[in-house]
Amino acid sequence: MEPTIHSEFEPDTGTWQYIVADPSTMTAAIIDPVLDFDRTSQSLTTHTADALLALVKEKGYKVDWVLETHVHADHLTAASYLQKRLAEQQGYKPSVAIGKRIGQVQRFFGKRYGVPEEQYEVVFDHLLGDDEKFMIGNIQATAMHLPGHTPDHMGYKVGDNVFCGDSVFNADIGSARCDFPGGSSESLYSSGRKLLSLPDNVKIWTGHDYPPKDGRSPQAYMTVHDHREQNKHLKDGITAEEFVTMRNERDAGLAAPRMLHQSLQINIRGGRLPSPTPDGQRMLRLPLDIKAAEW
């Protein structure tokens, strides 16, 4: 049985969000939802997540899972917000799930940003193991460890579809960066070849797309066959050595994601907000990049 898939593009961060449903039971999972954030005003809004809720309600789905592929560094997750709203909407809470290695990422960035352990220790309901099976209604799904972009990164195989997060991008973009703590271009190459070793008809649904402004529209998936022929970083014939050299050189020239600090501090909390200060403010930390030789 194949799932019904709704792909929803969030243009500000170039993020693909997915609702994956079993048509026989109308049970669904939401993958990598986005919370809207305005860097100028530091304001959070929920327009994008509310659109997902409206679609769920329109279709009559019951959401059992909110799945994160990893701790994103380029957008804030709406997982916690959706869990709360879905509990009100359907009468029970979906489980928020992520890969089992999330602890090492939380501890690293928790220490870097001074986030108290109690604010990230038990924020995910289910930590998925490598190749762990779970059900979306009557459809079996499999968690696939796809390290490289981050060490905790998971993909989700549902029928003849893999939701690969930030590992393989569409053919004209190629692959994700590997210069975050715990990232590895060698591991990403292995993860990419793991995906491209699946049957030709399998659809690989990407976590992001960044189409040229005067070019194609955002594209949610390509087949394994098309990636093997066209993906500029991972197509057949590109060796591990060639990929690692290219990826490391390319990453060395990339700027940091524009929502890096805000995203990491919220996302290690599973989308929950920082505890309020005595005067009711919820605060994030922003490191200064000091260019002067002396201060």
Domain span at residue 201 reads 4-267
Residue range 169-206, pLDDT digits in tens: 999 999 999 999 999 999 999 999 999 999 999 999 99
Other CB atoms within 10 A of residue 144 CB: 25
Please give the order of strands across the beta sheet that includes 126-128: 4-10, 15-22, 27-31, 62-67, 95-99, 126-128
Residue range 22-75, pLDDT digits in tens: 999 999 999 999 999 999 999 999 999 999 999 999 999 999 999 999 999 999
Tokens 């290690």 found at? 268
3-class SS at 226?
helix
Sequence-ordered list of residues with C-beta below 8 angstroms from that of 270, at least 6 positions apart, any chain = 68, 77, 79, 80, 96, 98, 120, 123, 124
Alpha helices (H) in 28-77, listed in sequence order: 47-59
Residue 295 binned pLDDT confidence (cut-offs 50, 70, 90): low
3-class SS at 84?
helix
Residue 293 belongs to some domain of the structure: no
Residue 279 belongs to some domain of the structure: no
Tell me the Cα Rg of the chain. 19
Phi then psi dihedrals of residue 270, to 5 deg: 70, 25
Residue 272 belongs to some domain of the structure: no
Is there a contact between 6 and 215 (Cβ–Cβ < 8 Å)? Answer: no
CATH number (domain holding residue 46): 3.60.15.10
C-alpha span between 15 and 11 (Å, rounded): 7
Residue 274 belongs to some domain of the structure: no
Residue 1: closest CA among 158, 122, 236: 158
* Residue 162 in this model has a pLDDT that exceeds 70: yes
**Please, what is the end-to-end C-alpha distance for the chain in angstroms?**
64
Burial class (CB in 10 A: 0-12, 13-18, 19+), 194: middle
Mean pLDDT of the chain: 96
Residue 291 belongs to some domain of the structure: no
Tokens 């108290």 found at? 116
**pTM for the structure as a whole:** 0.96
Residue range 5-28, pLDDT digits in tens: 999 999 999 999 999 999 999 999
C-alpha span between 73 and 293 (Å, rounded): 29
- Between strands 95-99 and 62-67, the pairing is parallel
* pLDDT of the residue at 181: 93
* pLDDT of the residue at 213: 80
Domain count of the fold of the chain: 1
Residue range 87-125, pLDDT digits in tens: 999 999 999 999 999 999 999 999 999 999 999 999 999
How much of the chain exceeds pLDDT 90, in percent?
95
Residue 266: closest CA among 131, 125, 74: 74
Residue range 246-293, pLDDT digits in tens: 999 999 999 999 999 999 999 999 999 999 999 999 999 999 888 877
Residue 278 belongs to some domain of the structure: no
* Residue 294 in this model has a pLDDT that exceeds 90: no
SS3 content of the chain, % helix, strand, coil (to 5): 25, 25, 45
Q: How far is CA 24 from the centre of its chain?
A: 27
